Amino acid sequence: MPFPALPAPLAKALADRGYEDPTPVQAAVLEPETEGRDLVVSAQTGSGKTVAYGLALARTLLGDAEMLPAPGAPLALVIAPTRELALQVHRELSWLYGPAGARVVSCVGGMDPRRESRWLADGAHIVVGTPGRLRDHLERRNLDPTALRAAVLDEADEMLDLGFREDLEFILGTTPAERRTLLFSATLPKAIVALAEAYQRDAMRIAVVGETKAHADIEYRAFRILPRETELVVVNTLRQIEARTAIVFCNTRNSVRHLQAVLTERGFQAVALSGELGQGERNAALQALRDGRARVCVATDVAARGIDLPGLGLVIHAELPNDAEVMQHRSGRTGRAGRKGISVLLVPPSRRRRAEELMVRANVVPVWSGPPPADEIRALDHDRLLQDPLVTDEVSDEDRAMAQSLLAQRSAEDIAAALVRAYRARMPSPEEVTDPGFTTGRGVAPKREAAPRAPFGSSVWFRLNVGRRDNADPRRLLPMLCRRGDVTREEIGAIRIFDRETKFEVRGGAAERFAHTFPRTGPADLQVEALAGGEAEVPPRPRQPRRNNNARRG
């Protein structure tokens, strides 16, 4: 269904952006019976609601004219819960109303309020801002609300969740009584209904079919995991589902900080978003994701509210959300604009029942399985290598000449092996993980039997200058050794952690490469040395301190 008749400038803006058909929420707010009315719209994140309310306001702001008058006191006010969402709305409305000569001004926390005051003094047609900053400008008389024809509350449920009720009531109380009020919310709890009744007149409620359910373009998966392997499963999930951009949700700032450090250590380009970051740091992290310098964002729910990341194909709930609405908000960051997305929940045995309750309340039927196994990811890597531009791109004459030169000095097998190593070096190694196989609503899952390890053969033992006192952990040491030493997991043997040092073995054929590469990559404070005697005797396992069961407990 094409867009209905719109003012010519907005129709041109949509055509220039390649918009042909409205999304369901856009079509709903443009129905003839909505003209001039207050609206309460239930719309999920990513449904095209910013353009929807931009179009719904067209006649209110323009009337029969095609161009807006000279900027002065603003005609429309859009209130959003977070800086990121407000700035995103500012960008959307700027291109949508650009051909109509609109001046759109943003007022958000973390930006220079004096510069915003100058913008407001110069005049505006539409002001977009966060509740606290808008209230501040109203109290300082920088923002003149007397000419407002419309007010929009975007993601109203999140604004109430964040404690902005008092600010919203203050702002709406300063606006003309005859204004239109458009309220957009992913959910409609009692608090939202009460707000609508207090500040709207005969509002029309719109719930687009399917909008209140889980997004149709999102595939939900639930992975059974062991709690101690959460980080490893996140690594394997990112490796199995190679999305252009992924977001991993944690429940606390400390969890975000820790997981981002773990992923960075394993070789992912990962950034963090949490409440402890300043606005400059947040902007830098988001820009890194948008321009491709980072692929993974680790975030808390509050920090991720309102952000829109291009190409976000994967959401991982490293820790289960508190309720079904939060899960839908998280998952709604992917599966946008007709693109498919995947939402993965990591579920330890103790949280199985909670996870199933969340799914039922969200009307979601996930696919349950164990975590992505390492051997499956290696098989995927084999297929991906064959499709990689390294192999499929057209070969130039210069490349062909160099290839002939290499073949004259090395065997084809050696060169192919070097290609495989170069390809593997671009990505973290998959981790060995366990399927706990607990009972779900779909029955009991069989535990995956671990494949027996092949005999290791001859090896060289090395010493690393960190130990138990440095919190050394084989699960963290192994990927670091592989990456810095240019070896695979199969080429690392036993790892023995002592109080002040760690000893480990490297397969004999890879030992020389490991010894040569390790000192040249990464920080110099981690040092290794080969143990004397080459193929040394296996160091004994470190003795654990004996517990004294008769010791007095204090």
Phi/psi for 345 (5° steps) reads -105, 130
- pLDDT at 512 (0 to 100): 87
Q: Which residue pairs from 50-53 have beta carbons closer than 8 angstroms and sit at least 24 positions apart in sequence?
A: 50/88, 50/89, 50/92, 50/93, 50/154, 51/14, 51/19, 51/23, 51/26, 51/92, 51/96, 52/22, 52/23, 52/25, 52/26, 52/28, 52/184, 53/29, 53/78, 53/152, 53/154, 53/182, 53/184
Q: Is 453 part of a structural domain of the chain?
A: no
- pLDDT at 45 (0 to 100): 61
Least reliable range by pLDDT among 79-93, 124-138, 217-231, 454-468: 454-468
Q: Are residues 270 and 242 in the same domain?
A: yes
Alpha-carbon distance of 261 to 129, in angstroms, equals 33
Q: Are residues 229 and 347 in the same domain?
A: yes
Q: Is pLDDT of 211 > 50?
A: no
**Band (209; pLDDT cuts 50, 70, 90):** low
Alpha-carbon distance of 198 to 169, in angstroms, equals 9
Q: Is 3 part of a structural domain of the chain?
A: no
* pLDDT average, residue stretch 121-147: 95
The span from the first CA to the last CA of the chain, in angstroms, equals 74
What's the CATH code of the domain at 101? 3.40.50.300
Which residue, of 184, 207, 230, is where some domain finishes?
207
- pLDDT at 440 (0 to 100): 67
128 bridge partner residues = 78, 106
Q: Are residues 420 and 465 in the same domain?
A: no
| 451 contacts: CB under 8 Å, gap ≥ 6 | 375
78 bridge partner residues = 128, 152
Alpha-carbon distance of 299 to 245, in angstroms, equals 13
218 bridge partner residues = 341
* pLDDT average, residue stretch 76-80: 96
- pLDDT at 89 (0 to 100): 92
| Nearest residue to 265 (alpha-carbon basis) of 465, 470, 480, 92 | 480
* pLDDT average, residue stretch 317-323: 89
- pLDDT at 550 (0 to 100): 44
* pLDDT average, residue stretch 498-522: 86
* pLDDT average, residue stretch 369-384: 88
* Rg of the chain, C-alpha, whole Å: 29
Q: Are residues 278 and 354 in the same domain?
A: yes
| Nearest residue to 303 (alpha-carbon basis) of 133, 154, 83, 45 | 83
Q: Are residues 76 and 163 in the same domain?
A: yes
- pLDDT at 549 (0 to 100): 46
pLDDT in tens, 300-310: 887 666 677 76
Q: Is pLDDT of 510 > 60?
A: yes
**Band (194; pLDDT cuts 50, 70, 90):** confident
CB 63 within 8 A of CB 151: no
Domain that holds residue 233: 218-372
**Category of 292 on φ-ψ map: left (φ > 0), alpha (ψ -120 to 50) or beta:** left
| Nearest residue to 124 (alpha-carbon basis) of 72, 67, 159 | 72
| Nearest residue to 229 (alpha-carbon basis) of 359, 378, 347, 315 | 347
| 78 contacts: CB under 8 Å, gap ≥ 6 | 53, 86, 89, 93, 126, 127, 128, 129, 151, 152, 154
Alpha-carbon distance of 163 to 159, in angstroms, equals 6
Q: Show the beta-strand stretches assigned E in 375-501.
A: 439-440, 443-444, 459-464, 492-497
Q: Are residues 349 and 380 in the same domain?
A: no
Tally of CB atoms within 10 A around 277 = 17
Q: Is 291 part of a structural domain of the chain?
A: yes
Alpha-carbon distance of 85 to 131, in angstroms, equals 12
Q: Are residues 174 and 25 in the same domain?
A: yes
Q: How many domains does the chain have?
A: 4
The pLDDT > 70 percentage for the chain reads 88
Q: Is pLDDT of 450 > 50?
A: no
Q: Is pLDDT of 545 > 90?
A: no
| Dihedral sign for Cα atoms in the order 214, 218, 224, 226 | negative
* pLDDT average, residue stretch 346-360: 90
Residue 186 CA to its chain's centroid (Å): 19
Alpha-carbon distance of 531 to 529, in angstroms, equals 6
pLDDT in tens, 166-177: 999 999 999 999
Q: Are residues 273 and 309 in the same domain?
A: yes
Q: Is 537 part of a structural domain of the chain?
A: no
pLDDT in tens, 426-442: 778 888 888 888 766 65
Alpha-carbon distance of 312 to 410, in angstroms, equals 42
Q: Extract the tokens encoding 21.
A: 């058909």
- pLDDT at 241 (0 to 100): 92
| Dihedral sign for Cα atoms in the order 470, 476, 480, 481 | positive
Q: Is 535 part of a structural domain of the chain?
A: no
Burial 334-347, CB ≥16 within 10 A → b, else e: bbbeeeebbbbbbb
C-alpha distances (whole Å) from 526 to each of 65, 327, 518 are 70, 40, 9
Instruction: State pTM to two decimals.
Output: 0.55
Q: Are residues 500 and 518 in the same domain?
A: yes
Least reliable range by pLDDT among 181-195, 415-429, 494-508, 538-552: 538-552
CB 385 within 8 A of CB 421: no
Alpha-carbon distance of 129 to 293, in angstroms, equals 29
Residue 395 vs residue 131, higher pLDDT = 131
Q: Are residues 261 and 351 in the same domain?
A: yes
* pLDDT average, residue stretch 493-498: 88
| Nearest residue to 369 (alpha-carbon basis) of 436, 415, 300, 283 | 436
Q: Are residues 143 and 291 in the same domain?
A: no
Q: Is 185 part of a structural domain of the chain?
A: yes
Which residue, of 207, 241, 263, is where some domain finishes?
207
Q: Are residues 185 and 93 in the same domain?
A: yes
Q: Is 550 part of a structural domain of the chain?
A: no
Q: Is 495 part of a structural domain of the chain?
A: yes
Alpha-carbon distance of 432 to 236, in angstroms, equals 9
Q: What rounded mean pLDDT belongs to the chain? A: 84
